Amino acid sequence: MKITKICCIGAGYVGGPTMAVIAQKCPNIQVTVVDLNEQRIKDWNDPDTNNIPIYEPGLSEIVAEARGRNLFFSTEVEKAIDEAQVIFISVNTPTKTYGKGKGMAADLKYIELCARQIAKVAKENKIVVEKSTLPVRTAEAIKSILDNTGNGVQFQILSNPEFLAEGTAVTDLLNPDRILIGGDSTPEGEEAINALVDVYANWVSRDKILTTNVWSSELSKLTANAFLAQRISSINAMSELCEKTGADVSEVAKAIGMDSRIGSKFLKASVGFGGSCFQKDILNLVYIAKSYGLTEVADYWEQVIIMNDYQKRRFSNKIVQTLYNTVADKKITFLGWAFKKDTNDTRESAAIYVADDLINEQATIAVFDPKVSRDKMLNDLNYLQTRSVEDNNSKVVAFNDAYDACKGAHAVAILTEWDEFTAYDWQEIYDSMHKPAFLFDGRNILNSKEMESIGFIYKGIGS
């Protein structure tokens, strides 16, 4: 089978960039990204590609090249489903907030809605590709819906999990470590797998394209994120021990990272991991383990989340304790709100929870982030439902300039490792602040000796 038309349901952080790169690398394939959110589609179609809804280095240039040629963004979901040979499902799978599995299991209602819509519309055989992060055996449920509520057409279900890191998503798509495709071992399943392999082979070496059964593919995604998050929580656990003993966590990380069996990646101590995947996927893994009665396995992985939450609380507590056990009516400046640099994604960002703790202590939070709006910051805090919308409005002030945000502040806390923060004139920032001036480096990106020589009382993670 030669693929000439692809549809992707979901124009979010995964669907948008992934389809843009496929369209750029496969000019003979028509790629249509559909979403019911009219404003999101309007933003993707903005004539100025610098205004597209997702900020990723290099993404706007790729969209500009392919959009209108063979890349299209539309709200006509049923039309795109009807025309496509391959349908990617890339909708949100948040952690359930209700019912069985509340707080742990993935909420699959959007996946089911997609499956039912595909079944209703499809009049010819289709390949349906899971792109969203899903619990093991979701493909089985999708296939059941398609086969029993459709128009008698044949569906092949493939699992093709994304392994993207926000901030480097374009690089990850152009030069992936691997492409993973899971499907049935039947002749029809093998044909569908090979059809998708041929799409990626337009720019990815075939020895990097792995094919497995569906269940292995689904579980590999959860496992990969769990292992990466585990490393972050592990080094963060050591950061507190370093602070107590006089060791430097950066030196410890460098020493163990040089061990070839361990490696240096994801060993940077910080205020904690965020983003849409790590916490959600680990909680999903915990829920799966518990559902099979594997209590010890579940407890092991749940501890990774517990350690991450503890690190955020520890950071906010350190700010309060260092500022003489009160931050009431004090201005605390946050540099960064996104969960990591080079993205405008704030999901599960440490900044949200640290801000929430400090507002509870009656602090005023001044924020500068080069890519995140005040509306987004307030939405993040309001989602926690800790206090009224009016209280959050009165306690959070956003600035378009970092120097203005820092003026008169009692402390500056770095919550995102934006590169530009290292290039600031920190002497000027120090001179504009309330004295004594405190600097809490939650991402360990500044030189502690240099900051102390300026006059800051410097507090990093694990140093």
Catalytically active residues, by annotation: 162, 221, 277
Record the tokens describing residue 380, joined without a space: 């993040």
- Identify the bridge partners of residue 73 per DSSP, sorted by sequence position: 33
User: 314: which residues sit within 8 A by CB, 6+ positions away?
Assistant: 240
Query: With contact defined as beta carbons under 8 Å apart, do 375 and 409 qualify?
Result: no
Cα–Cα distance measured from residue 6 to residue 455, given in angstroms and rounded to the nearest whole number: 58
Secondary structure (H, E, C), the chain: CCCCEEEEECCCCCHHHHHHHHHHHCCCCEEEEECCCHHHHHHHCCCCHHHCCCCCCCHHHHHHHHECCCEEEECCHHHHHHHCCEEEECCCCCECCCCCCCCCCECCHHHHHHHHHHHHHCCCCEEEEECCCCCCCHHHHHHHHHHHHCCCCCEEEEECCCCCCCCCHHHHHHCCCCEEEECCCCHHHHHHHHHHHHHHCCCCCHHHEEEECHHHHHHHHHHHHHHHHHHHHHHHHHHHHHHHHCCCHHHHHHHHHCCCCCCCCCCCCCCCCCCCCHHHHHHHHHHHHHHCCCHHHHHHHHHHHHHHHHHHHHHHHHHHHHCCCCCCCCEEEEECCCCCCCCCCCCCCHHHHHHHHHHHCCCEEEEECCCCCHHHHHHHHHHHCCCCHHHHHHHEEECCCHHHHHCCCCEEEECCCCHHHHHCCHHHHHHHCCCCCEEEECCCCCCHHHHHHHCCEEEECCC
Record the tokens describing residue 192, joined without a space: 């569908």
Cα–Cα distance measured from residue 386 to residue 378, given in angstroms and rounded to the nearest whole number: 12
- Full strand arrangement of the beta sheet holding 209-212: 71-74, 30-34, 5-9, 86-89, 126-130, 155-159, 179-182, 209-212
- Identify the bridge partners of residue 212 per DSSP, sorted by sequence position: 182
